[in-house]
A and B are shown apart, each in its own frame.
Chain A
Amino acid sequence: MINPFAPIGRGVLSTLAEIGRFSAFVGRALAASVTPPLFFGQLLRQVMQIGYFSLPVVGVTAVFIGAALALNIYVGGARFNAEQFVPNIVVLGITRELGPVLAGLMLAGRVSAGIAAEIGTMRVTEQIDAMTTLSTDPFKYLVAPRVLAATLTLPVLVLVADIIGVMGGYLVAVNSLDFNGAAYLRNTFDFMEPQDVVLGLVKAAVFGFIIATVGCYQGYRSNGGALGVGRAATNAVVVAIVLILMVNYLITAFFVE
Chain B
Amino acid sequence: MTAKLELKAIKKKLRGRQVLDGVDVDVNQGRSLVIIGGSGQGKSVTLKCALGLMRPDSGQVLVDGADVTKMPEEIRARVMRKFGMLFQGGALFDSLSVWENIAFRLINADHVNRTEARERAIEAMRKVRLAPEFADVRPIELSGGMQKRAGLARAIIAKPDILFFDEPTTGLDPITADAINDLIVEMVKELGCAAVSITHDMPSARKIADEIAMLHNGKIVWRGPTAMLDTSGNAMVDQFVAGRADGPIQAVV
Contacts and interface: CB of A to CB of B under 8 A. Distances in A.
Q: Do A and B come from one complex?
A: yes
A129 interface: yes
A39 to B, nearest CB: 7
A50 to B, nearest CB: 15
Given A39-B108, A141-B108, A134 B89 contact: no
A133 B85 contact: yes
A15 interface: no
A72 interface: no
A137 B109 CA distance: 9
Interface string B79-96: 011011101110111100
B212 to A, nearest CB: 24
A133 B80 CA distance: 7
A127 B93 contact: yes
A175 interface: no
A135 to B, nearest CB: 4
Contacts of B51: 129, 133
B54 to A, nearest CB: 9
Contact of B91 (A39, A126, A136): A126
Given A133-B84, A135-B77, A135-B80, A125 B109 contact: no
B89 A132 contact: no
B81 A130 contact: no
B193 to A, nearest CB: 14
Interface string B38-66: 00000000001001110000000000000
Contact of A136 (B48, B53, B83, B105): B105
Contacts of B87: 126, 129-130
Nearest to A39: B108
A68 B84 CA distance: 59
A126 B84 contact: no
Interface string A103-128: 00000000000000000001001110
Interface of A: 39, 122, 125-127, 129-137, 141
